[in-house]
Amino acid sequence: DSGVTQTPKHLITATGQRVTLRCSPRSGDLSVYWYQQSLDQGLQFLIQYYNGEERAKGNILERFSAQQFPDLHSELNLSSLELGDSALYFCASSPWTSGGRRGNEQFFGPGTRLTVL
Amino acid sequence: ILNVEQSPQSLHVQEGDSTNFTCSFPSSNFYALHWYRWETAKSPEALFVMTLNGDEKKKGRISATLNTKEGYSYLYIKGSQPEDSATYLCASSGSEKLVFGKGTKLTVNP
């Protein structure tokens, strides 16, 4: 158990809908990262927040947005959902801001499996 | 844009065999190389984080080496056990974000 929690575990919805995925980082971790794992794709970095502020952006679609709240939990909002958005969405946390510098290890949550029908 | 490649894509070995996988990454703007182990239905778990050229790290029967000048890292598993069956991911960072390879799926047959 990494200490990172994600809800819900599974989500089934229809095209055009909007969903919110939630992540609580490990106690004391200030950085939260969101990743998408689609079929035949590696883990794709979406976005990172550090202590409430956006820190780095990856291949995140305009239909997706995220935020980190004062209690450090984070939400990933996915709107106007398409079939291709079906994927496993992971959240990870780390103590510092730098995702890779100085060997900043990331701790992954169990993921949310999103199915868009 | 970083491009992280892992080989082989999959590997089947017998219990007791030793094995190794490769991760290659762009050597420019290198900051760190991460190895993760990802078991089916679980989340990726960090094995090693390496930052210096020539780094070698070991955890039990698993070890890793890093060559930042030529842009590769090897992961070795000595005396593979069925519980080592998992996908092994490497990720490189040149900035804030990690770029993951697609992984090497290891199956250890008893």
CA distance A64 to chain B (A): 18
Interchain proximity A108–B50, CB inside 8 Å: no
Output the pLDDT for position A97: 60
Alpha carbon B81 to chain centroid distance?
Answer: 17
DSSP E strands, A5-111: 5-7, 10-13, 19-24, 31-37, 44-50, 53-57, 64-68, 74-78, 87-94, 107-108
CB < 8 Å to B102, chain A: 40-42
DSSP E strands, chain B: 5-7, 10-14, 19-24, 32-38, 45-50, 56-59, 62-67, 72-77, 86-93, 98-100, 104-109
* Predicted confidence (pLDDT) at residue A100 exceeds the cutoff of 50: no
Output the pLDDT for position B105: 96
pLDDT classification of A101: cutoffs 50, 70, 90: low
* Predicted confidence (pLDDT) at residue A103 exceeds the cutoff of 70: no
CB < 8 Å to B91, chain A: 43, 100
Output the pLDDT for position B29: 77
Lowest-confidence region among B3-7, B40-44, B105-109 = B40-44
CA nearest neighbour of A90 among A48, A30, A62, A50: A48
* Predicted confidence (pLDDT) at residue B18 exceeds the cutoff of 80: yes
User: Where is pLDDT greater, at A44 or B28?
Assistant: A44
| Burial class of residue B54 (count of CB atoms within 10 Å of its CB; 0-12, 13-18, 19+) | exposed
Interchain proximity B97–A108, CB inside 8 Å: no
When CB atoms are compared, the residue of A4, A40, A42 closest to B101 is A42
Output the pLDDT for position A86: 96
